[in-house]
């Protein structure tokens, strides 16, 4: 199962009655947005998921620590 960073959101269209679900998967985020969300996050479990995704994309642990401290 892909990793999520937020809960799903549902929006109901009043005219048609259809429900649109937006899912928040980490693999779908572009790298700058991923780094931004990682900086905002304060939950250790989610931070670990962000770190894993960044390592998967080729960042080293040193790069991640430098971004986190700035």
Instruction: Tell me the percentage of the chain whose pLDDT exceeds 90.
Output: 69
Quickly list H helices, the chain. 31-40, 44-56, 61-69
The structure tokens listed for 61 are: 């642990």
| Least confidently predicted of 15-19, 27-31, 58-62 | 58-62
Confidence of residue 70 (pLDDT cuts 50, 70, 90): low
The overall average pLDDT reported for the chain is: 91
User: Of the ranges 12-16, 51-55, 63-67, which one carries the lowest mean pLDDT score?
Assistant: 63-67
Q: Using N-to-C axis directions, what is the helix angle for 31-40 and 61-69, rounded to 10°?
A: 60
Contacts of 4 (CB under 8 A, 6+ apart): 23, 24, 25, 26
Residues near 31 by beta carbon (within 8 Å), at least 6 away in sequence:
57
Average pLDDT over residues 17-39: 93
By DSSP bridging, strand 9-12 and strand 19-22 are antiparallel
């Amino acid at each position: 199962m892909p990793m999520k960073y937020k809960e799903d959101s549902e929006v109901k269209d009043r005219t048609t009655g259809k429900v649109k679900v937006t899912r928040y998967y980490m693999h779908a985020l572009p790298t700058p947005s991923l780094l931004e969300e990682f900086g905002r996050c304060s939950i250790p479990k989610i931070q670990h998921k962000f770190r894993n995704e960044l390592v998967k994309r080729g960042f080293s642990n040193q790069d991640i620590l430098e971004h986190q401290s700035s």
